[in-house]
Amino acid sequence: MLSQKFWCVATLLVTIAASVPRGFAEDSSPVVAPVTVDRVAFIRALTKFEFAKLDGEISSIEKQAEEDPRFEMNVIAAFAAFETTQSVAFDQTEKWTKASPDSYVAAAARASCLIETGYRWQQHKELEKMSKFFK
What pLDDT score was predicted for residue 129? Answer: 63
Give the tens place of pLDDT for each residue, 116-134.
887 777 776 666 666 666 6
Give the three-state DSSP class for 106.
helix
Give the tens place of pLDDT for each residue, 13-49.
656 655 555 555 555 666 778 888 898 899 999 999 9
Helix (H) / strand (E) element for 53: namely: helix 51-67
